[in-house]
Copies of this chain bind each other. A is one copy, B any other.
């Protein structure tokens, strides 16, 4: 608890939110406009989304109905991910679908809310909705939490660079 109070940004909190959803919370040390930009500007997303790995942004049309497709270069090969934007409401809400090439046709919805904490920090709350409980549990067991924390740590570095004097 002390560690989290001293540095509340170092890990995401993942909780089960319903039969087939999870809720992810993470605080970032940057104003909301900058965090929003880091989620929606392809040049910035490329620097953190793939856990620090090289990321090809093949498609990223940040508007309702637009598609996205990223390819992450991992030590084991290339991993493709894609989806479509359901809602883009700057700087507060970004809703999109998520599908990994390794499990085609299994589509989750990521509903992200950006909360201005009023002290220069931003809380990002993402509700991930799956079609079934089994899909949710499969994602939780897949190492999602580790990968997410690696990506968010990379995002911390992107935001620190952006806010550096």
Interface residues, chain A, with chain B CB atoms under 8 Å away: 64-66, 83-87, 95-97, 99, 101, 104-107, 109, 129-132
Residues of B within 8 A of A87 (CB): 105
Residue pairs across A and B with Cβ atoms less than 8 A apart, 7 shown, are A64-B105, A85-B104, A85-B105, A86-B104, A107-B109, A129-B132, A130-B131
Residues of B within 8 A of A130 (CB): 131
- Contact B105 A97, beta carbon cutoff 8 Å: yes
Assuming the contacts A104-B65, A131-B131, asked whether A84 and B99 have C-beta atoms less than 8 A apart, the reply is: yes
Residues of B within 8 A of A132 (CB): 129
A31 CA to B11 CA in the complex, in Å? 57
A95 CA to B96 CA in the complex, in Å? 22
| Further contacts, 10 of them, CB under 8 A, given A86-B105, A96-B105 | A64-B104, A64-B105, A65-B105, A83-B105, A84-B99, A84-B104, A85-B105, A87-B105, A97-B105, A107-B109
Assuming the contacts A129-B131, A131-B131, asked whether A97 and B86 have C-beta atoms less than 8 A apart, the reply is: no
Assuming the contacts A129-B131, A131-B131, asked whether A105 and B101 have C-beta atoms less than 8 A apart, the reply is: no
- Contact B104 A107, beta carbon cutoff 8 Å: no
A99 CA to B65 CA in the complex, in Å? 10
Residues of B within 8 A of A64 (CB): 104-105
Residues of B within 8 A of A99 (CB): 84
Residues of B within 8 A of A84 (CB): 99, 104-105
